[in-house]
Amino acid sequence: MKKLLTILLALAMTMTIIGGCSGEKTTMETIDKSGEMTFAMTAGYPPFNFMNEDGELDGFDIDIANALAKEMGVTAVPVTTAWDGIIGGLVSKRFDTIIGSMAITPDRLKEVNFTDAYYYDGAQFFSKSDTTLTDISDLVDGSVGVVTGTTYYDALAEMDNVTDIMQFESDVDNMLALDQDRIDGLVTGRFVGLQAPAKFDVDLVPVGEMLYAEEIGIAVRLEDTDLVASLNEALATIVENGTYEEISNKWFGTNILEKQ
């Protein structure tokens, strides 16, 4: 009898362990059950994601997130956070995804997984319209602004003629610093800078060619392969049915999924 009880107890413990493991839901399963998918961005990267005049989140990323969520049969719920801690927030499960204009890089792929690119962009140097510069290489002991945690910082750090890299929490702050002549120029996404004068009444012109091109993807946790598959399927659908192009034309007057 004692031996039988020992066997039964061991079997019960095994079943409890198996049951506990099988009870752990994937992020995709949790999203399906709750009907909500949280996504993070800074709300400081206009016109991709920003606070509009009514104090509401707006921009290309917001519209894309909503369109993707609709195809997935859920609601997109935005979460704003600082860029330099955004990957940490994703890994620690503060939100489900990052739909905030994040470039796909080898270093980031070690920490998170990415969907297919949902647009193509590139790093561009901008200055004020009265600049005498024709290229970023014309700077001498230059002072250039970037948003903290972006790939732009690393690119500037390799330039001997840039001696002061000023870091900001958002491109709104970055552009303000240029407007106040605190920096010689700034590096940001090409589309952000090109749209800024018309949409945000700032004095900003591109100087020289793009520093490098980037593929922008939606970041999820490494283990969330089913969520990546679902997002990729939704992305392919909105591209095919014209929703993507409609959103892109609304913000940029062109299809930014086509390589520039």
Q: Tell me: the pLDDT tens digits for 109-125?
A: 999 999 999 999 999 99
pLDDT, position 260: 58
Whether 28-120+214-252 shares its CATH topology with 122-213 is answered yes
**What average pLDDT score do residues 193-205 get?**
86
Whether the predicted pLDDT of 10 surpasses 80: no
pLDDT, position 19: 43
pLDDT, position 9: 47
Mapped onto helix, strand or coil, the DSSP state of residue 52 is coil
Does the predicted TM-score (pTM) go above 0.75? yes
- Contact predicate 238/251, CB 8 Å: no
Instruction: Quickly state the pLDDT bin for 258 (edges 50, 70, 90).
Output: confident
pLDDT tens for each residue of 18-58: 444 446 899 999 999 999 999 999 999 989 999 999 999 99
| Integer-rounded Cα radius of gyration of the chain | 22
Q: What are phi and psi of 158, to 5 degrees?
A: -90, 0
pLDDT, position 236: 98
**What average pLDDT score do residues 191-197 get?**
90
Q: What are phi and psi of 53, to 5 degrees?
A: -65, -20
Instruction: Quickly state the pLDDT bin for 70 (edges 50, 70, 90).
Output: very high
- Contact predicate 25/81, CB 8 Å: no
| Pick from 160-164, 166-170, 196-200: least confident | 196-200
The domain 28-120+214-252: what is its CATH number? 3.40.190.10
pLDDT, position 123: 96
Between helix 225-240 and helix 243-252 the angle, nearest 10°, is 80
Q: Specify the CATH number for 122-213; select among 2.40.160.10, 3.40.190.10, 3.40.50.150, 3.30.420.40.
A: 3.40.190.10
Phi-psi map region of 199: left, alpha, beta (phi>0 left; psi -120 to 50 alpha): alpha
Per-domain residue ranges of the chain: 28-120+214-252, 122-213
